[in-house]
């Protein structure tokens, strides 16, 4: 008795007739049934020894293309082809390769049905049975009168090998070939990493896990292949998000699985009552920010569940889909690879609120802004190390004057708790630290939710957008003053031959210049200064520099020694070509770098002369060339 006979299924009369047709006519498998590995299985289970298997060259070409892109389905299909070839060599079946190889264009547009049509034509010509796991392919073939046999993979609900690592308090599992299994335990913010077991993982073990994961994905509710690219795949299986990476994208085969351990209600967070009131009273724009693993998605899921309980229609935009929400909330991913397309559908669906998990790229922020301006309440999840950083990530992506219409609340999550909440409010005022009423401009106030006190101001200064901490603006050396001084220096340097010293206080700039540069800076009739004052919105005084070194020289401000260099600091000469002197003696010429530094090789003669001069207290200075 042959191996095929021992594995043959008990069949009904109808199945016996189908087996007879396949033996008499032969079979033509399409790409889908080759990929799911069911051709060799069907031959053994149905006892199809001696059957003719026609393999169209289009199938081989499509699998080769997928494998060249690093996609697992391509390698799985090629592995099944090798099985069929081996069965043919053993005489179990007869494998016939036939048909013309498709063009590159036909392979590129395989999803549109070009390859499927070629396979159907072969089945029609040979009057063979078409094997497929693609419902559309089967329906089209049946419409043409082709005999069709479906080969959907049989699924068993046995426990995944990966699930053995997920104990009650485990939030993520990290498996890498050549390394010990590692898990993270504990709640957000208090997680610890632990090694599991005393045996390093092998490629073979991980490949078996991956094969099991692929068999489950797409075969059960809530299981999907979310992303598949060369060297990287993301699966969603139940509440687990699984990332699989392979060389050459990663240095070794790796599986990372993440799942939430608990579903948190909004009531368990700080400011719960106030936040509930805000999001229910009207549609809002909310950013939920925090570092990775802080519990942002858990908070966003809690918001979604609360809104649903209050009678709102809630949808999500996720890639991959891993928010823990009720069945009433529909979870959308990218449509044709684009969240812009998803947004178009959502605007037709008209939800009250949409949870966007997560905002990373400029396109994400633009979609979020478009939907918010269309009147949809939006809750966006964004990575940020500070609450203010979440707002800064919008700068340049959303027009400054529109930010408060897009986002009015920022909730910062740290260690699973709400650690900070900001209100964003738009007004017109003189920025803190400026005093002239003529300097009034549009300002976004970032206010503490609890105290209602502004902590930051965001406004335009010249051509730059400034995010200024309010508590620091009164200091003479505040970041605002430094920024203003740099902008004035950069603009006026176009008219000066030597370096400038600039100081900004209370909305007024004082510029110290060499005697020879002052006429150039002021311009004929004061036109240069007048134009700059109008451009920057501040008064500018130009004064002659006092106690100048010969010919507009500048003293050394400091130095340090690194492993390779002696570094001289001339911060006011950034970007200038200079001559360096010790006392009255010229030593060398160099270009001052952007940080105001000149690097001299540590073991050079010039470095030794400089060290001797510094040790003896001789003056080291530089003069622009």
Q: Which residues contact 565 (CB under 8 A, 6 or more apart)?
A: 599, 600, 601, 602, 607
Task: Please tell me which of 103-112, 144-153, 212-221, 389-398 the model is most confident about, judged by mean pLDDT.
Answer: 389-398
| HEC secondary structure over 183-228 | EEECCCCCCEEEECCCCCCCHHHHHHHHHHHHHHCCCCCCEEEEEE
**pLDDT tens digits for range 254-311:** 999 988 756 677 888 888 888 888 888 888 899 999 988 788 888 999 999 999 999 9
| Lowest model confidence (mean pLDDT) among 137-151, 351-365, 507-521, 604-618 | 507-521
Q: What is the pLDDT of residue 137?
A: 87
- Over 90: is that where the pLDDT of 202 sits? yes
Burial (0-12, 13-18, 19+ Cβ within 10 Å), 518: middle
CATH number of 479-544: 3.30.300.20
- 173-177, 206-210, 293-297, 551-555: range with lowest mean pLDDT: 551-555
pLDDT for the residue numbered 506: 59
What does 454-502 look like in DSSP terms, one character per residue?
EEEEEEEETTEEEEEEGGGTTSTT-HHHHHHHHHHHHHHTTT-SS--EE
Q: What is the pLDDT of residue 136?
A: 87
Per cent of the chain over pLDDT 70 is 90
Q: What is the pLDDT of residue 1?
A: 36
DSSP 38: H
User: What number is the average pLDDT over the span 139-161?
Assistant: 79
Model pLDDT, residue 153: 60
Model confidence at 439: pLDDT above 50: yes
Q: Identify the band that residue 83 occupies on the pLDDT scale cut at 50, 70 and 90.
A: very high
In the predicted model, what is the mean pLDDT of residues 412-436? 86
Q: What is the pLDDT of residue 272?
A: 85
Weakest mean pLDDT among 126-135, 417-426, 607-616? 607-616
Q: How many residues does the chain have?
A: 625
The answer to which of 25-39, 133-147, 502-516, 595-609 has the lowest mean pLDDT is 502-516
Among 48-57, 154-163, 260-269, top mean pLDDT goes to 48-57
Q: pLDDT tens digit string along 579-613?
A: 888 877 778 888 888 778 888 888 888 888 888 88
Per-residue pLDDT, averaged over 302-323, amounts to 88
The string of DSSP codes covering 256-319 is: EEE--S-PPPGGGSTTHHHHHHHHHHS--EEEEEESTTSSHHHHHHHHHHHHHHTT--EEEEES
Q: What pLDDT is attached to residue 286?
A: 95
- Would the CA dihedral through 314, 320, 326, 328 be positive or negative? positive
- Class of the domain covering 266-472: alpha beta
- pLDDT number for residue 394: 92
Minimum mean pLDDT among 17-26, 215-224, 592-601: which range? Answer: 215-224
CA distances, 593 to each of 280, 574, 575, 584 (Å): 55, 6, 5, 24
φ, ψ for residue 522, nearest 5 deg: -70, -40
173-198 residue pLDDT tens? 999 999 999 999 877 667 789 998 88
Q: Which tops the pLDDT comparison, 434 or 303?
A: 303
Nearest-CA neighbor of 535 among 439, 399, 408, 407?
Answer: 439
User: In whole angstroms, what is the distance from residue 378 CA to residue 99 CA?
Assistant: 53
pLDDT at residue 5, rounded to an integer: 42
Which pLDDT belongs to residue 224?
77
Q: Looking at residues 563-584, what average pLDDT do you find?
A: 83
pLDDT of 473 higher than 50: no
pLDDT interval class at 154 (50, 70, 90): low
- 152 in Cβ contact with 32 (< 8 Å): no
* Stronger pLDDT, 520 or 184, i.e. the higher one: 184
Average pLDDT over the chain reads: 83
Q: What is the pLDDT of residue 13?
A: 76
Q: Which CATH code, of 3.30.365.10, 3.40.30.10, 3.40.50.1010, 1.10.3720.10, is assigned to 3-150?
A: 3.40.50.1010
Q: What is the pLDDT of residue 472?
A: 45
Q: How high is the pLDDT of residue 474?
A: 42
Q: What is the mean pLDDT of residues 309-323?
A: 87
With 80 as the cut, is the pLDDT of residue 463 above it?
no
CB atoms within 10 A of CB 598: 22
Residue 103 pLDDT class (50, 70, 90 cuts): confident
Rounded mean pLDDT of 86-103? Answer: 91
For residue 331, list its beta bridge partners. 316
Task: For residue 429, list its beta bridge partners.
Answer: 441
Counting residues of the chain whose pLDDT is more than 90, the rounded percentage is 31
Question: What is the pTM for the complete model shown?
Answer: 0.57
Of residues 166, 155, 151, 160, the one with CA closest to residue 220: 155
Cβ-in-10-Å burial (0-12, 13-18, 19+) of 600 comes to buried
Mapped onto helix, strand or coil, the DSSP state of residue 114 is: helix
Q: pLDDT digits over 31-42, tens only?
A: 988 988 889 988
Average of pLDDT values for 394-412?
A: 92
Domain 161-258, CATH among 3.90.320, 3.40.190, 3.30.450, 1.10.3470: 3.30.450
Give yes or no for a contact between 605 and 561, defined as CB atoms under 8 angstroms apart. Answer: no
Q: Would you state the pLDDT for residue 2?
A: 42
Long-range contacts of 423-430 (CB under 8 A, 24+ apart): 423/447, 423/448, 423/449, 423/452, 424/391, 426/401
Closest CA to 343 of 316, 383, 313, 307: 316
Contact present, 148 and 142 (Cβ < 8 Å): yes
């Amino acid at each position: 008795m042959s191996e095929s006979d021992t594995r043959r299924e008990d069949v009904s009369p109808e199945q016996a007739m189908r087996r007879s047709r396949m033996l008499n006519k032969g079979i033509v498998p399409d790409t889908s049934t080759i990929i799911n590995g069911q051709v060799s299985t069907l031959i053994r289970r149905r006892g199809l020894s001696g059957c003719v298997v026609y393999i169209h060259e289009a199938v081989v070409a499509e699998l080769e293309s997928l494998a060249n892109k690093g996609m697992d389905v391509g390698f799985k299909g090629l592995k099944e082809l090798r099985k069929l070839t081996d069965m043919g060599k053993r005489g179990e079946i007869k494998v016939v390769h036939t048909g013309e190889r498709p063009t590159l264009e036909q392979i590129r547009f395989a999803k549109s049905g070009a390859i499927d049509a070629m396979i159907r034509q072969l089945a029609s010509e040979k009057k063979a049975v078409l094997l497929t796991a693609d419902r559309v392919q089967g329906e089209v073939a049946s419409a043409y009168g082709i005999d069709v046999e479906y080969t959907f993979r049989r699924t068993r609900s046995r426990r995944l090998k990966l699930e053995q690592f997920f104990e009650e308090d485990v939030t993520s599992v990290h498996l890498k070939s050549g390394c010990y299994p590692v898990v993270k335990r504990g709640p957000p913010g208090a997680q610890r990493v632990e090694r599991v077991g005393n045996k390093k993982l092998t490629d073979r073990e991980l490949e078996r896990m991956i094969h099991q994961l692929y068999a489950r994905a797409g075969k059960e509710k809530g299981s999907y292949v979310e992303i598949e690219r060369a060297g990287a795949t993301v699966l969603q299986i139940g509440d687990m998000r699984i990332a699989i990476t392979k060389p050459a994208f990663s240095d070794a085969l790796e599986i990372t699985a993440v799942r939430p351990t608990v579903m948190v209600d909004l009531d368990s967070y700080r400011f719960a009552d106030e936040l509930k009131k805000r999001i229910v009273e009207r549609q809002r724009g909310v950013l939920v920010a925090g570092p990775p693993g802080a519990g942002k998605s858990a908070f966003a899921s809690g918001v979604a569940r609360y809104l649903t309980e209050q009678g709102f229609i809630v949808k999500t935009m996720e890639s991959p889909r891993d928010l823990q929400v009720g069945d009433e909330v529909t979870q959308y991913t990218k449509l044709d690879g684009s969240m812009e397309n998803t947004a178009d559908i959502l605007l037709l669906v008209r939800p009250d609120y949409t949870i966007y998990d997560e905002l990373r790229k400029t396109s994400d922020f633009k979609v979020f802004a478009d939907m918010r301006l269309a009147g949809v309440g939006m809750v966006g999840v964004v990575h940020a190390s500070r609450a203010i950083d979440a707002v800064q990530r919008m700068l340049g992506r959303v027009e400054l004057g529109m930010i408060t219409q897009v986002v009015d609340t920022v909730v910062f999550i740290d260690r699973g708790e709400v650690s900070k909440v900001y209100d964003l409010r738009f007004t017109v005022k003189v920025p803190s630290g400026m005093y002239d009423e003529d300097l009034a401009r549009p300002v976004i106030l970032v206010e503490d939710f609890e105290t209602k006190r502004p902590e930051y101001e965001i406004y335009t200064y010249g051509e730059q957008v400034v995010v200024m901490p309010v508590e620091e603006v009164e200091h003479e050396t505040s970041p605002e003053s430094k920024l203003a001084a740099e902008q004035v220096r950069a603009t006026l340097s176009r008219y000066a031959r030597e370096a400038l010293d600039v100081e900004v206080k209370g909305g007024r700039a004082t510029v110290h210049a060499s005697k020879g540069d002052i006429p150039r800076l002021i311009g004929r009739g004061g036109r240069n200064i007048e134009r700059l004052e109008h451009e920057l919105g501040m008064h500018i005084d130009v004064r002659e520099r006092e106690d100048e070194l010969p010919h507009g020289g500048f003293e050394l401000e400091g130095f340090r020694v690194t492993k390779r260099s002696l570094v001289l600091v001339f911060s006011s000469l950034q970007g200038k070509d200079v001559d360096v002197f010790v006392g009255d003696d010229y030593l060398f010429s160099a270009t001052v770098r952007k940080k105001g530094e000149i690097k001299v090789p540590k073991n050079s003669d010039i470095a030794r002369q400089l060290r001797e001069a510094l040790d003896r207290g001789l003056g080291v200075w530089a003069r622009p060339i």
